[in-house]
Structure 1
Amino acid sequence: MTGLLALATGTLTACGSLQGKQNSAGSGSLGAARGSSSTYVKPGERTLTPTLKGTTLSGEHADIATLRGHVVVINVWGSWCAPCRKEAPEMARLAKETEALGVRFLGIDIRDSKTAAKAFERNYGITYPSIYDPDSRTAIGFKQLAPRAVPSTYILDKTGKVAALSIGPLTYRGFLPIIKGIAAETP
């Protein structure tokens, strides 16, 4: 957890603030776009296991506890967010190409209307579920690592612990090796 606790407070560079300031990191790059911050946590230093559950945009129940044993990529987004629109095709491609590795994706749609959110998913080919969270309450499950800007992306290892965190839009080319590396780890 040292890597995550060592995150310094920085200025907001992503789409929008959830709490005024964000964390930035210098301990690794997740292929984040310019103006983004990211960190990777070594397996022995991972301690935070978030609890997230809610109702998806399609009306189904989602709970990340049911995904233990899989690497889980959680993307916090909103249809109103320009960087989210930029990274959406990359996230859709990553979800499709890493499914065979046992990787699962879950979105958290915040501060949005269902109509706009569903249109976003259709327009960008997002096929993985997204928890509908118009009040941004689901983020509480991340405890001290709750997202402070949109987009934010977390990778949970197979035991459900936060292995990586990025604030800001990601790129396919930079993010794929990180997902593959975490998927290749032995719990």
Structure 2
Amino acid sequence: MAVAGLLALAAGTLTACGSTQKEDNSTGSLGAAKGSSSQYVQPGERTVIPTLKGTTLDGEQADIARMRGQVVVINIWGSWCAPCRKEAPELRKLSQKTEPLGVRFLGIDIRDNKSAAKAFERNYGITYPSIYDPDGRTATGFRQLAPRAVPTTYVLDKQGRVAALSIGPLTYRDFHPIIKDIAAEKA
């Protein structure tokens, strides 16, 4: 699946919470949760290296450039988003189960207020950091793959390239093998 296919998928989504268009492509579609569309990019076809940095909900600085050499899962979410609430337990389980593989998670909380976002993380047991992005500008660092729906999840390979993309709520069962395979790739 070429990056052009990912671009078409990203361009076809809507800006509303959880609104997506499912793309069926035999070379790139992965088993995904209903209402979700996931794509995998073959290692030789990965070109998008996003820039992303900001201040987390806890006031710390986060920069994905400092995470190179590790697989990084980035989830765009908001406490106001029903599909985000649906996938939060799945993401918590994914982060716990893939941590031994050296996988790191980073959230980007968009169009939210800080107290609601912190309550969301407490309620769902989310322990990985999230960049606080009330105006939604941080995610533009993904350039042509910038999210068009919430939630959106990216998996960056060890070189910091977008290796997989899921638009809409994901499930542990469908997304764990993707993360595990990307983590097993040679750097």
Q: Same fold (TM over 0.5)?
A: yes
| Equivalenced residues, count | 182
Which residue is equivalent to 1:47? 47
CA deviation string 1:73-131 (max 9, x = no partner)? 00000000000000000101110111110000000000000000000000000000000
Provide runs of 4+ in structure 1 moved above 6 Å: none
Residues 81-96 of structure 1 aligned to structure 2 (within 5 Å):
81-96=81-96
The question of 1:181 aligning with 2:181 is answered yes
Which residue is equivalent to 1:3? 2
Contact 2:15–2:150 (CA<8 Å) still a contact in 1?
no
1:105 is paired with a residue whose SS is strand
Contact 1:25–1:39 (CA<8 Å) still a contact in 2?
no
1:71 to 1:25, Cα distance in 2 relative to 1, 3 A: farther
Cα distance, 1:5 vs structure 2: 1.1
Which residue is equivalent to 1:69? 69
Task: Give the RMSD, CA atoms, in angstroms.
Answer: 1.9
How far apart, in 2, do the equivalents of 1:62 and 1:4 lie?
Answer: 26
2:2 is paired with a residue whose SS is helix
Percent sequence identity over aligned pairs: 75
How far apart, in 2, do the equivalents of 1:54 and 1:22 lie?
Answer: 30
Which residue is equivalent to 1:32? 32
Which residue is equivalent to 1:105? 105
1:131 is paired with a residue whose SS is strand
Counterpart of 2:79 in structure 1: which amino acid?
Answer: S
CA deviation string 1:40-59 (max 9, x = no partner)? 00000001100000000000
How far apart, in 1, do the equivalents of 2:72 and 2:116 lie?
Answer: 25
TM-score for both structures, normalised by structure 1 = 0.91
Which residue is equivalent to 1:129? 129
Which residue is equivalent to 1:170? 170
Which residue is equivalent to 2:17? 15
How far apart, in 2, do the equivalents of 1:134 and 1:127 lie?
Answer: 20
CA deviation string 1:123-179 (max 9, x = no partner)? 000000000000000011000000000000000000000000010000001111100
1:6 to 1:98, Cα distance in 2 relative to 1, 3 A: same
How far apart, in 2, do the equivalents of 1:137 and 1:147 lie?
Answer: 11
How far apart, in 1, do the equivalents of 2:24 and 2:16 lie?
Answer: 14
Cα distance, 1:32 vs structure 2: 2.8
Structure in which a larger fraction of residues adopt strand: 1
How far apart, in 2, do the equivalents of 1:98 and 1:75 lie?
Answer: 15
Cα distance, 1:16 vs structure 2: 4.9
Structure 1, unpaired ranges of 5+: none
How far apart, in 2, do the equivalents of 1:176 and 1:139 lie?
Answer: 23
Contact 1:50–1:141 (CA<8 Å) still a contact in 2?
yes
TM-score for both structures, normalised by structure 2 = 0.91
